[in-house]
Amino acid sequence: MAEKKDIKFEKAMERLEKIVQELEKGELDIDKSLQIFEEGIQMSRVCSEKLKEAEQKIEKLTKNGKGDLAAELFPSGGTDGQGE
């Protein structure tokens, strides 16, 4: 499963959209549906992890007391209890 984490966000999202389209058509047998559903869950997790990583890297520029710009981490609005 390690290779799935190496997928770029855009590729994972694109694959996830194709999986949703295939499932929505309703033309697949149950085994194939379950197989791509599982892959869709994996792609969803990859996308969530990539978004979380990006969120943690985002900084905002604010003016400090002297009027100079300073970078600080953007507070996370996550509900997982790991944000600020």
Ranges of each domain in the chain:
9-62
pLDDT tens digits, 68-78: 877 777 766 65
As a whole number, the mean pLDDT across the chain is: 83
**Residue 40 CA: distances (Å) to CA of 12, 15, 19, 52:** 9, 8, 6, 18
Q: What pLDDT score does 6 carry?
A: 85
Say if residues 39 and 15 touch (Cβ distance below 8 Å): yes
Give yes or no for residue 33 having a pLDDT over 70.
Answer: yes
pTM for the whole structure:
0.67
* Topology (CATH) of 9-62: Helix Hairpins (1.10.287)
